[in-house]
């Protein structure tokens, strides 16, 4: 390979690296309601969002007091899956707990 071919290949590789973008991130929130128990919300935060008990309790209290609480930040597919999982688990237990995602 000549020096010009080598430089051209390096230039193309550098251009390719610049074009790669990080995936968009989404905030996943829990919304307060008057029926879902605090224990169930903590359970959801621990099981679905993998929060330690103390952090899950803090988030649950924030949701209870402020009406909404951030559970985590994820790529779109993961955020959609977590929202669907929360809704499914809540319906199985008869709770109206709502979860939503919003692009950062």
CA dihedral 27, 104, 65, 84 (to 10 degrees): -30
Q: Is the whole-model pTM more than 0.85?
A: no
Cα dihedral across residues 52, 43, 69, 103: positive or negative: positive
H or E element, residue 25: strand 25-31
The string of pLDDT tens digits covering residues 17-60 is 667 889 999 999 999 999 999 999 999 999 999 999 999 999 99
């Amino acid at each position: 390979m000549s020096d010009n071919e080598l430089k051209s290949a390096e230039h193309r590789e550098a251009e390719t690296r610049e074009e790669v973008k990080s995936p968009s991130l989404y905030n996943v929130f829990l919304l307060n309601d008057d029926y879902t128990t605090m224990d169930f919300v903590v359970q959801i935060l621990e099981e679905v969002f993998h929060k330690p008990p103390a952090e899950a309790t803090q988030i649950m209290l924030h949701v209870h007091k402020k009406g909404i609480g951030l559970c985590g930040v994820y790529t779109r597919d993961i955020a959609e899956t977590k929202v669907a999982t929360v809704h499914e688990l809540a319906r199985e237990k008869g709770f109206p707990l709502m979860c939503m995602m919003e692009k950062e």
